[in-house]
Structure 1
Amino acid sequence: MSADINEKVRRNPKFQELCQKRSTFAWTLSAVMLAIYYGFILVIAFAPASLGTPLWEGATTTVGFPIGVAIIVSAFLLTGVYVKRANGEFDDLTRQIIEEAK
């Protein structure tokens, strides 16, 4: 019985759509996060003085601090974007696939 249900799910065009959409979306978000991280590393490697510049004259906080915080926050935001889509569109497709497999 279980093998029959698995085969129904695999053959369902909605399952193929779900796999394609989820994979594309996950890779896109991963590429964005990698670009952010590696961009930061490239700035550290090739222009470290730019991150060491004080935010304003006489400040002890440098430009690098808010940029580092923004990188961490961007990881949380991208995770939230994925969760929102997963709980909406991807879960709806999953429910449809399950109903059609019964």
Structure 2
Amino acid sequence: MHDQTYALIQKNPRFQELVSKRDRFAWGLSAVVLGLYVGFILLIAFEPALLGTRIGDSSITWGIPLGVGLILSAFLLTGVYVVRANGEFDRLTSAVLKEVQK
């Protein structure tokens, strides 16, 4: 693409909407993931006995399912982002490109 095309894309209101929505969504998900990880680290730091408590009569402690849940939540939130990126964000991108190519 040429510099003129880039300038048209950057001035396009739909492109600005796309960038704004994508940034807000990505920062929101990042904040959730950061909050989960910080919460887990704080739990390790201030309540280690809780994580070392056995679940019922088994040899598994609460730390294992909480740690696995933390990792799975990161995968889940990544999936949420991918679904939205492949849907709404791709539609906005296509609309911007169609407008610029006219």
Which TM class, normalised by the smaller chain length? over 0.9
Unaligned runs of 5+ in 2: none
Question: What's the counterpart of residue 99 of structure 2?
Answer: 100
Moved over 2 A (4+): none
Q: Structure 1 residue 20 and structure 2 residue 20: aligned? A: yes
| Secondary structure in structure 2 of the residue aligned to 1:60 | coil
The alignment of Structure 1 onto Structure 2 pairs a total of residues equal to 101
Counterpart Cα distance in 2 of 1:97 and 1:16: 10
Unaligned runs of 5+ in 1: none
Counterpart Cα distance in 2 of 1:62 and 1:71: 15
Counterpart Cα distance in 2 of 1:65 and 1:3: 53
Counterpart Cα distance in 2 of 1:3 and 1:72: 42
Shift of 1:69: 0.5
Counterpart Cα distance in 2 of 1:98 and 1:81: 25
Question: What's the counterpart of residue 59 of structure 2?
Answer: 60
- 1:15-94 pair list within 5 angstroms: 15-57=15-57, 59-94=58-93
Shift of 1:3: 1.1
Q: What is the TM-score with the length of structure 1 in the denominator?
A: 0.97
Q: Structure 1 residue 8 and structure 2 residue 12: aligned? A: no
Shift of 1:67: 0.4
Task: Give identity over the alignment, percent.
Answer: 55
**CA displacement 1:23-73 (0-9 Å, x = unmatched):** 00000000000000000000000000000000003x210011000000000
Query: Partner letter of residue 41 of structure 2?
Result: I
Query: Partner letter of residue 99 of structure 1?
Result: K
Counterpart Cα distance in 2 of 1:7 and 1:35: 37
Counterpart Cα distance in 1 of 2:100 and 2:66: 48
Counterpart Cα distance in 2 of 1:10 and 1:34: 31
